[in-house]
Amino acid sequence: MNNAELVKRDLSVVWHPCTQMKDHEWLPMTPIRRGDGVWLEDFDGRRYLDAISSWWVNLFGHANPHINNALRKQAETLEHVMLAGFSHEAVIELSERLVDVAPPGLDRCFYADNGSSAIEVALKMSFHYWRNTGHNGKTRFITLENSYHGETLGALAVGNVELYKDTYGPLLMETISVPSPDCFNREPGESCAAYSERMFSHMQRALEQHAEQVCAVIVEPLVQCAGSMRMYDPIYLKLLREACDRYGVHLIADEIAVGFGRTGTFFACEQADISPDFLCLSKGLTGGYLPLSVVLTGDAVYQAFYDDYQSLRAFLHSHSYTGNALACRTALATLELFEQHDTINANRLLADAMAQATASFAEHPHIAEVRQSGMILAIEMVRDKPNRTPFPWQERRGLKVYQHGLDNGVLLRPLGNVVYFMPPYVISTEQIDMIAAVARDGIHKAVAD
């Protein structure tokens, strides 16, 4: 089997995610034969350094021996059992560990099998909590502009990336959308913290006006990843936590992308020293191995559902693969790796290396900003730097960087005009230099003419 043969078979039966399939008339797809650490290898024997962790899921490399062993052992004993009326060791151990590492007060784990489903769970649970406690007027959600929470209809409704959302508008519940604290839009000379704090006035006003109808505010703490890796200051989360308490509104933290060390702390919320009412996790949860997600919440929410069956207060939500044993076991193995390698501390060196490798990029006439939050580094290309005028999306400049990357052994998959690194934590500083060099040349090519 070589690439060409597999691509031919693929294109006759597979419909790929987030893809205009017609692009594949001229844009080759890459069938992957095997993974090893940061590397992916195709069927023609070419290797690609996975600089974006296969869409932000992989933490400790592909085909990680420790996770493989855990998975193998679990497969030999129990692959899956339904979680209603039944339980298993892996889900119990994982829940204990998650409660240990989560911000204080989050001591209940409700499982689903992907990020979007976790968002649905949190939205439904918040709404249902308010019903169970006699607040029937609470039916709405506040979201930030430029936010992304997934693709199922509820998750899509609370997101704000037009590209993914607009078409489905008629199917989506209406939300209250508030300008983002995204620091890219700060005034020259203004600090990120000052800007994020200033932007909180919009949230304050929305809560003031609508709190009685609002179940929850949902945010991606610190980095709006799918929204072009835009970043904001922890002060915003602090203010938001205080305001949610003051107005009697839940706070949902979607750490599906930023959890598990991506922003430099284990959870992004730690940087604001806050606990949300609901913490949604997926992606890195299983180290990039298997689909699994979890919503952590606290006793106040749990108790509002805990009653005699006849009261009909129970949360009757489930998925077939809720709490899958194989997935839970890979998640436990992933948490073990964090401990064994002192990953959060070790990542500081890698984050510094990413900063150093891109230190000169900001001088480039078509790079408006290089921004970083821990293990996420983003480079924003613009047509006109002084005015920060973006390249028109139709020009697909980012795609040119993607193609250059593949030609040079690095998997970069820019979001529009934003090139970013979000590598597995097993990357070396030399490999960081390599992805930076390839990105630099790719950007150079992409902005020409």
Ligand X SMILES: *Cc1c(COP(=O)(O)O)cnc(C)c1O
Residues engaged in binding ligand X (CB under 6 A) = 114-116, 119, 148-150, 220, 225-226, 254, 256-257, 282-283
Q: Which lies closer to ligand X via its Cβ, residue 120 or residue 369?
A: 120
Give one word for 336, left, alpha or beta, with left for phi > 0 and alpha for psi -120 to 50: alpha
Shortest Cβ 118–ligand X spacing (Å): 7
- At a CB cut-off of 8 Å and minimum separation 6, what does 114 contact? 150, 282, 291, 293
Shortest Cβ 116–ligand X spacing (Å): 3
Shortest Cβ 69–ligand X spacing (Å): 25
The tokens describing 435, both together, are 């992805």
Q: Which lies closer to ligand X via its Cβ, residue 42 or residue 113?
A: 113
CB 236 within 8 A of CB 243: no
Shortest Cβ 119–ligand X spacing (Å): 6
| Residue of minimal Cβ distance to ligand X | 115
Q: Which lies closer to ligand X via its Cβ, residue 119 or residue 327?
A: 119
Shortest Cβ 150–ligand X spacing (Å): 3
Q: Which lies closer to ligand X via its Cβ, residue 114 or residue 324?
A: 114
Shortest Cβ 184–ligand X spacing (Å): 18
Q: Which lies closer to ligand X via its Cβ, residue 3 or residue 180?
A: 180
The string of DSSP codes covering 204-229 is HHHHHHHGGGEEEEEE-SSEETTTTT
Q: Which lies closer to ligand X via its Cβ, residue 150 or residue 276?
A: 150
Q: Which lies closer to ligand X via its Cβ, residue 256 or residue 443?
A: 256
Angle of helix 89-101 relative to helix 325-340, nearest 10 degrees? 40
Name which of 246, 256, 426, 441 is nearest 349 in CA terms: 426
CA distances from 32 to 39, 58, 300, 400 (A): 10, 15, 47, 21
Give one word for 318, left, alpha or beta, with left for phi > 0 and alpha for psi -120 to 50: beta
Give the sheet arrangement for strand 250-254, strand by strand. Answer: 108-112, 293-297, 278-281, 250-254, 214-219, 140-144, 176-178
Q: Element (H or E) spanning 116, and its range?
A: helix 115-132
CB 267 within 8 A of CB 104: no
DSSP tag of 415: B
Shortest Cβ 152–ligand X spacing (Å): 7
